[in-house]
Homo-oligomer: A and B are copies of this chain.
Amino acid sequence: MEMSERKTKILEAIIRNYLETGEPVGSRTISKCSDMKLSPATIRNEMSDLEEMGYILQPHTSSGRIPSDKGYRFYVDRLMKDKEKEVEEMHEVVVQKADQLSVLLQQVAKLLADNTHYAAMISSPQIHHNKLKFIQLSKVDANSILAVIVVEGNIIKNKMIRVDGELDDDTVLKLNLLLNTHLNGLSLEEINLGLITLIKERAGIHSDLVGSVIDAVAEAIRADENLEIYSSGANNILKYPELTDNNTKTSEILSTIEEKEQFGRLMEESLNEVNAGNENSTGIQVYIGNESPIQSMKDCSVVTATYELEDGMKGMMSIIGPKRMDYEKVAKTLKRLQDQLDALYRKKD
C-alpha cells in the first residue's frame, strides 16, 4: 500500500495533535479539527491503513492512535517544515565569551534547557588537528614546577610537577627554551618517540621532568581526553507522565544524563556523521526512541546539533525529551543558538 496525499494529511494531523496533548487521538477528533471534510468513519478506514503500514499504533483496542517511531520519523523527515511558529523570544543571550569555556558552556546548556523545557547537554568543543602553541614552566616553590600548556584554540592546561632536587631559575629558563624550540607548532602525530628522546637527552639530569611535561602536552592535545560534558534541566524530564509512570525508567534516564559518558559517545558519533559528508544543511540530527544507541533513551528522543567556535572547534549540543517533543521548536532553538555562538565568536575575533 502506498501513501496517498490524504493519508499524509491525516497522519500529520494525528501527530500534531498527539504532540500537543499527549493523549491517543481518535477519528472524531481528526474529523472535526482538520480542514478536510471527512466523516469519522472514513478517517477510521484511513487510520486502519496507516496502522497496517506501521506509522501509528493503538495502545489497546478501542483507544485512539499514537504515532510509532516510524511515524515520528516520517514527520521529522517529511512533514515538519519551518512553519513560522512563534518560538517565544529567547531570553536575550547573555553568553559572553567567558574566560573559562566551561562557564560559557554551562550557560548555554541552561539556556537551552530553559527555553525548550527539556533536558539539555553540551560537549566541549573538539579540535581534531590541534597543535601546541607554547609551553611555560614556572617555579612555584622549592620543589614544584607549574607547567602551563597552551594549545591552538587557546585551550589551557595546568600541570603541577614535583621535582626532587633543587632547581634554579636559570635551569627553568633553559628548559623552557628547550621545550619551546622543539615542540611549538607541532601536532600529536608530529611528536614522535625520536623527538622525545632527543629532548630528554638534551635535558640531561632533568629528563624526568621533561618527560612529565611531554605527557601533559599529550594529554592536552588529545581531544578525547578533553571531552567535557555539561547538562542542565534534567528534571524537566519529570514533567512528562509517559516518562515517569515507572520510577525505574525515570531513574535510568536521569542517571544516564547525570553520568554523561554515554552521551559523550552519542555526540561523538553524531559529530562524525555530520562531518562525514552527508551533511544535511544544519547539522541537526534526531534520534527517535530506539534509533538512539543509548539503551535507556528508548522512550525519549534526542536531538543533537553541532556548533562551531573559532578555529574550527566543533562541539555538540543536544536536547533530551519525550518522543512527543516539539521538534520544530527544539530545532529552531538549536539553530538560533548555533547562530548566536557563531556571531559571538566571529564578531569579537
Contacts and interface: CB of A to CB of B under 8 A. Distances in A.
A156 B156 CA distance: 11
A133 B140 contact: yes
Contacts of A254: 234-235, 238, 254
Interface residues of A, number: 29
A296 to B, nearest CB: 12
Contact of A99 (B156, B159, B250): B159
Interface in A207-260: 232-235, 238-239, 244, 247, 250-251, 254-255, 258
B258 A247 contact: no
Contacts of A133: 140-141
Interface string A43-64: 0000000000000000000000
A158 interface: yes
A66 to B, nearest CB: 22
A262 interface: no
Contact of A138 (B136, B144, B158, B239): B136
A148 interface: yes
A22 B70 CA distance: 44
A150 B148 CA distance: 11
Contact of A250 (B141, B156, B238): B238
Nearest to A113: B258
Contact of A158 (B158, B239, B244, B251): B158
A160 interface: yes
A134 interface: yes
Contacts of A146: 136, 148, 150, 156
A34 interface: no
Interface in A126-152: 133-134, 136, 138, 140-141, 144, 146, 148, 150
A30 to B, nearest CB: 30
A250 B237 CA distance: 11
A39 interface: no
Contact of A258 (B140, B150, B234, B244): B234
Contact of A235 (B156, B158, B160, B255): B255
A209 to B, nearest CB: 16
A150 B141 CA distance: 11
Contacts of A144: 154
Interface string A95-111: 00001000000000000
B232 A251 contact: no
A55 to B, nearest CB: 31
A234 B234 CA distance: 10
Given A232-B258, A238-B254, A247-B244, A156 B158 contact: yes
A96 B232 CA distance: 28
A148 B134 CA distance: 14
Top 5 closest pairs, chain A to chain B, by CB: A235-B254, A156-B158, A136-B138, A238-B251, A235-B255
